């Protein structure tokens, strides 16, 4: 994420290791990444895949998910580690035993050009070159990073990677897009149907979502022609009351949604679009990076509305024949 207030400060590059083996591991790690992205002096540049890894040091505990992230930051490394420890606490980390189980673990692994050692922080991280669960994800995003005279890829060649495998889970902190058509008042529907069928908007919707994954609520599914899935896309229904629907993947909880999305996008990443309705938009907006809005002319007697796009900024606007197409991104 980009923060305008940090533009004038000198940026440094850092690498952060993430791990979790308790609770909803993947979502906790994504929550940690979102919390890092929300810091005014930090920008996340890239994140590795998530990896299933066996426990290290203390082996009588559940397996871990691990990942690595590259970030740019302004300020001192001690400020960054302080914020990382705060995020750990807020996500439920309790430091009861060395190398023990934890809801989340954030390690500052390396900061370009910085070597330090005190009671709070040692850089490079003292175990960076010894832990395969650190080296595997780090080698994915920074194979040529040189630590102690050798590249990360070289260190990995000598590591024991047995039991480490890429996990079918989403590692992007904001993995979703949202697409909607609304009137001047933000209305998106009435009586379980679209406000109006605009051919220009429907063609735009098809172009944006074709080949991707669409996520919808039950009422949106029921509003589709003959309640059939959209062709050329994987269709997912998020509903607490629906058990199955022909041609659709059905999930009842957000945790199930993340697992399914991770599996569907495992071999080839595909764009994921939230397509409605109101409740689904509200529920999933915190996980959205980009919003596509078609502004329909006039006002209709809507009974459901697009949630406010707080925390987003408009990045594009294109005037069509019958409507205006806008794009917003999270800031």
| Residues assigned a catalytic role | 93, 102, 105, 107
**Cβ atoms within 10 Å of 5's Cβ, excluding its own:** 9
| The two three-digit tokens of residue 318, written as one number | 């294109």
> In angstroms, rounded to a whole number, what is the distance separating the alpha carbons of residues 196 and 296?
9
> In angstroms, rounded to a whole number, what is the distance separating the alpha carbons of residues 64 and 22?
8
Short-list 147, 166, 159, 153, CA closest to 109: 147
Between strands 42-47 and 64-74, the pairing is antiparallel
Q: Which residues contact 157 (CB under 8 A, 6 or more apart)?
A: none
CA-to-CA separations, 11 to 7, 24, 144, in angstroms, rounded:
8, 33, 20
> In angstroms, rounded to a whole number, what is the distance separating the alpha carbons of residues 228 and 243?
16
Kindly state the DSSP code that residue 285 receives in the 8-state scheme: G
Taking each helix axis from N to C end, the angle separating 25-37 and 77-90, rounded to the nearest 10 degrees, works out to 140
> In angstroms, rounded to a whole number, what is the distance separating the alpha carbons of residues 269 and 289?
15
> In angstroms, rounded to a whole number, what is the distance separating the alpha carbons of residues 331 and 329?
6
> In angstroms, rounded to a whole number, what is the distance separating the alpha carbons of residues 93 and 86?
9
């Amino acid at each position: 994420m980009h923060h305008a207030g940090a533009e004038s400060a000198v940026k440094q590059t850092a690498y952060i290791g993430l791990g979790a083996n308790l609770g909803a591991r993947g979502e906790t790690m994504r929550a940690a990444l979102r919390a890092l992205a929300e810091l005014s002096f930090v920008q996340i540049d890239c994140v590795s895949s998530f990896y299933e890894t066996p426990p290290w040091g203390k082996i009588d505990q559940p397996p871990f998910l691990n990942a690595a992230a590259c970030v740019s930051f302004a300020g001192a490394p001690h400020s960054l580690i302080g914020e990382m420890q705060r995020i750990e606490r807020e996500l439920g980390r309790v430091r009861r035993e060395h190398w023990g189980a934890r809801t989340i673990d954030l390690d500052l692994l390396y900061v370009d050009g910085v070597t330090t050692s005190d009671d709070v922080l040692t850089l490079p991280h003292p175990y960076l070159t010894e832990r395969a669960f650190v080296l595997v994800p780090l080698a994915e995003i920074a194979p040529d990073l040189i630590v102690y005279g050798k590249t990360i890829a070289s260190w990995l060649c000598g590591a024991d990677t047995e039991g480490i495998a890429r996990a079918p889970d989403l590692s992007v902190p904001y993995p979703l897009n949202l697409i909607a058509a609304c009137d001047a008042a933000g209305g998106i529907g009435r009586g379980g149907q679209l406000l109006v069928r605009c051919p220009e908007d429907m063609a735009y919707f098809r172009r944006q979502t074709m080949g991707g994954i669409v996520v919808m609520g039950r009422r949106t599914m029921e509003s589709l022609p003959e309640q059939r899935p959209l062709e050329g896309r994987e269709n997912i229904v998020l509903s607490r009351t629906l058990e199955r629907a022909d041609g659709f993947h059905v999930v009842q909880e957000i945790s199930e949604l993340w697992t399914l999305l991770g599996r569907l996008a495992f071999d080839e990443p595909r764009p994921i679009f939230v397509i409605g309705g109101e409740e689904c938009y509200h529920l999933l907006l915190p996980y959205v990076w980009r919003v596509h809005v078609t502004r329909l002319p006039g006002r209709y007697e809507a009974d459901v509305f697009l949630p406010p796009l707080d925390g987003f900024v408009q990045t594009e606007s294109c005037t069509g024949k019958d409507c205006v197409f806008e794009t917003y991104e999270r800031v």
